[in-house]
Amino acid sequence: MLYPVRCHQCWSGCKRRVILIGSVGCYSSTVSVMKYPICTLFLLFIIGKAGVAQNTAAPAMFDTNAAERFAHLALACVHKEYPNHITHTLNSDADVAPPRKLTPAFYGCYDWHSSVHGHWLLARLIGTFPNSAFAPSARETLRQSLTAENIAQEAVYLRAEGRASFERPYGAGMATPACRGTARMGRPSGPRDGCEPAAFLPQISSAKNGTWLQPVVSPDPTDPKLAHLDGLNLSRAWMLEGIAAVLPKGDKRLPTIRAAAEEHRRAGLAAVTGKHYEGGHWLGSFAVYLVTGRGIPQT
Alpha-carbon distance of 47 to 194, in angstroms, equals 30
Output 251 or 192, whichever has higher pLDDT: 251
pLDDT digits over 90-136, tens only? 989 999 999 999 999 999 999 999 999 999 999 999 999 999 999 99
Helix axis angle, 283-291 relative to 228-246, nearest 10°?
20
Q: Report residue 210's pLDDT band, with 50, 70 and 90 as the boundaries.
A: low
Instruction: Report pLDDT for 252.
Output: 87
Count Cβ atoms below 10 Å from residue 69 Cβ, excluding itself.
15
pLDDT (average), residues 72-78: 95
Instruction: Report pLDDT for 174.
Output: 53
pLDDT (average), residues 240-247: 92
Asked if 157 contacts 87 with a C-beta cutoff of 8 angstroms, the reply is: no
Q: Report residue 172's pLDDT band, with 50, 70 and 90 as the boundaries.
A: low
Instruction: Report pLDDT for 164.
Output: 85
Among candidate residues 256, 249, 262, 259, the one with its CA nearest the CA of residue 201: 256
Does the pLDDT value for residue 189 go beyond 50? no
Instruction: Report pLDDT for 203.
Output: 74
DSSP β-bridge partners for residue 269: none
pLDDT digits over 8-21, tens only? 333 333 333 223 33
- pTM for this model (two decimals): 0.70
Q: Report residue 295's pLDDT band, with 50, 70 and 90 as the boundaries.
A: confident
Instruction: Report pLDDT for 92.
Output: 93
Proportion of the chain above pLDDT 90, given as a percent: 49
Q: What are the CA-CA distances from residue 287 to residues 5, 121, 151, 232, 291 (Å)? A: 12, 9, 27, 11, 6
Instruction: Report pLDDT for 208.
Output: 63
pLDDT (average), residues 203-227: 81
Average pLDDT, the chain: 76
Alpha-carbon distance of 38 to 101, in angstroms, equals 17
